[in-house]
Structure 1
Amino acid sequence: MALKNGEQPTGVESSCQNTQSSFVNDANPKRSTSPQDSPAVSTCLETEGEFAGWKCFKDNGFDSLTGPFWYRREVNGGMRCAFRVEQKHLNIAGYTHGGCYMAFADFCLFMIAKPVKPGPGVTTNMACEFIDSAREGDVIVGTGQVTRAGRSLIFVRGQLAEQERLLFTFSGTIKRSRQ
């Protein structure tokens, strides 16, 4: 069953189908961007469990190590991102670490911009507000919108929530890399 907005999924082992994506790893702007030189980033399409129908990156990069961070395109064309809080995401007090929120928000920034940003880019600015905390087992969902997309800059704002509880808001700017 696919995770729906506001739904708290149960923990089920995942079964991924590895696919290749033409999406360039935005975390590595030094990677070549010419189609023949750019290795495809391996993605995982979840086929069962709580994230069935969602994708994640399987490239041993930062997002893969800190996540898994999942994403999917919604019916309205927007992007939705999610992850389940694990012990590795917690601070010493047992709450989701602020750095985890920020790393996930940066992932969301790029996924939200993905429909208008077909190539690589880098985060040039990100502002955030910590509103509430999450605990181990919670599913954090990131949503947002592109507020403006120019030739070289893309402006995004978004929020992270656990069910209906707002946890974190953010806004950021992506600079498109030259292709």
Structure 2
Amino acid sequence: MSEQPPENVGGRRPCTEGEFAGWTYWHGDPFEDRAGPFYEKREDDGSILVAFRAEQRHMNGAGFMHGGCLMTFADGALFSIARDELLEHHAVTLSLTGDFLEPVYVGQLVEARGEVVRGGGKTIFIAGIVTADGKAALRFNGIVRKVGRRND
């Protein structure tokens, strides 16, 4: 019998069904597991696209997506966008700023795209945009820092 990895072991896992079949998602970060899942895939041009479908649990009392949810998604997207720079390293967010542009509502497809503005060392600078059904909802900038090698 093959041994299954413990639930608390992190890593990218394939999504095999539903809207995001063929994408991957990160599993093993307790906060992101609860907030997401946030799915990612590599586009034909080599860039990373990160996405999720807005649900009622992501909304605030006014009926649109909570700003904290958008920033959580942007924070996760930093690491996906910088994946090729991070390689086998763990990293932490040093800075994340965001400009809220438009509200996001239940049912909308929320996507993040971006680019590494500067990399090559321990500190990586990323800029990106979050859209909801193609309309700009959040512009973000972040800095992540490599902190150690991964063993998974």
Matched, 1:142 2:112: yes
* Distance of aligned partners of 1:176 and 1:43 in 2 relative to their CA distance in 1, 3 Å threshold: closer
The one-letter code matched in structure 1 to 2:97 is: A
Q: How many aligned residue pairs are there?
A: 143
1:111-167, Cα deviation, whole Å (9 max, x unpaired):
000011111111101111000011111110000000110311100000000122100
Paired residue for 2:54, among 66, 85, 88? 85
> What does residue range 2-81 of structure 1 map to in structure 2 within 5 Å?
41-59=10-28, 61-81=30-50
3-state SS in 1 of match to 2:95? strand
CA distance in 1, matches of 2:82, 2:21: 22
The alignment's C-alpha RMSD in Å is 1.8
Query: Could you tell me whether the CA contact under 8 Å between 2:109 and 2:132 is conserved in 1?
Result: yes
* Distance of aligned partners of 1:154 and 1:42 in 2 relative to their CA distance in 1, 3 Å threshold: closer
1:59-102, Cα deviation, whole Å (9 max, x unpaired):
25111100111111112221110011111100001100000000
Q: Normalising by structure 1, what TM-score? A: 0.75
How many percent identity over aligned positions?
Answer: 34
Structure 2 residue ranges without an equivalent (≥5) = none
CA distance in 2, matches of 1:42, 1:177: 17
Query: Could you tell me whether the CA contact under 8 Å between 2:9 and 2:28 is conserved in 1?
Result: no
> What does residue range 92-103 of structure 1 map to in structure 2 within 5 Å?
92-103=61-72
1:124 is matched with which residue?
A: 94
Matched, 1:153 2:123: yes
> What does residue range 165-176 of structure 1 map to in structure 2 within 5 Å?
165-176=135-146
1:164 is matched with which residue?
A: 134
CA distance in 2, matches of 1:174, 1:85: 26
